[in-house]
Amino acid sequence: MSILHLHLVSDSTGETLESMAKAGLSQFEGVEAVKHFWPMVRSEGHLDRVLDEIAARPGLILYTLVGGAVRARLETRAAAMGLPVVAVLDPVVEGLSRVLGREAKARPGRQHVMDAAYFRRVEAITFTMAHDDGLLADDWEQADIVLAGVSRSSKTPTSIYLANRGYKCANMPLVPGDPTMQGLLTLKKPLVVGLTVSAERLIAVRRNRLTALGRGPDDSYVDPDGVARELMMARRLFADRGWPVIDVTRRSIEETAAAVINLYNQREEPAGVVG
């Protein structure tokens, strides 16, 4: 097992660095990364203190610093210490600059400003939390997206992930005989997406849920015949209504959410626009 000290130096919160480091590390096996977070580094004095700490635990430095003097000092001192440095956003910013034909605005933390998009995310999260698991069905017409599926088909975590991306979501558990399901059939504005899953995977997830609740494994909730009927009912409903369907059996929450966003964008794309 290799041990890597990974220093994440940012002039903002460091969230971007953390996400990119996680994505990069996922490509390597047998590596234990010890992450050191150094956020809000906006002065040379602060940087010097950080570099003294880095010198005690040398490793790879990933950074997002837009301040010219601070950035130059980091690169100079890192070179003097023989430490590798990577400016993770440079290729993206340079590519955008070439395509757009303009220079980037060097403003620390610009992606975290409380602009209209920020408040849309807050509104989306508030809406989504209030409309989880079939709640407040009378308000579903205000949603951007409504997820439907049998119990334990990843509706809630997918909804929350989408809300963090700025989409107002509601989700509805499909239970045979539940009159609330009728609310789905009259929706006009929201994109309704059906989530399905293999019976084997669903039973395993439900068994884990029952164990966590201290209930016995012979509960009808995990009866194979009952589960098969639930899934058949859901698939029939999706097909009858012409709703797009995503099989979440082998998908992570992020992958499911990405597929939902693609469906939403395709529906919202103006007619005649070729991507």
Binding site listing: 149-156
Tokens of 231: 């899934």
Residue reference for tokens 């290729």: 91
User: Could you tell me which residues are annotated as the binding site for ADP?
Assistant: 149-156
**What is the per-residue burial (b if ≥16 Cβ within 10 Å, else e) of 90-103?**
eeeeeeeeeeeeee
The Cα 98–Cα 113 span in angstroms is 25
Orientation angle between helical segments 224-241 and 199-213, nearest 10 degrees: 120
For the chain, the C-alpha Rg in angstroms (whole number) is 24
The Cα 17–Cα 10 span in angstroms is 8
CB contact at 8 A, 230 and 150: yes
For 196-235, the DSSP string reads E--HHHHHHHHHHHHHHHT--TT-GGG-HHHHHHHHHHHH
The Cα 6–Cα 22 span in angstroms is 11
Opening angle at CA 208, ends 260 and 148, nearest 5: 25
To which H or E segment does residue 49 belong?
A: helix 44-56
The Cα 272–Cα 187 span in angstroms is 25
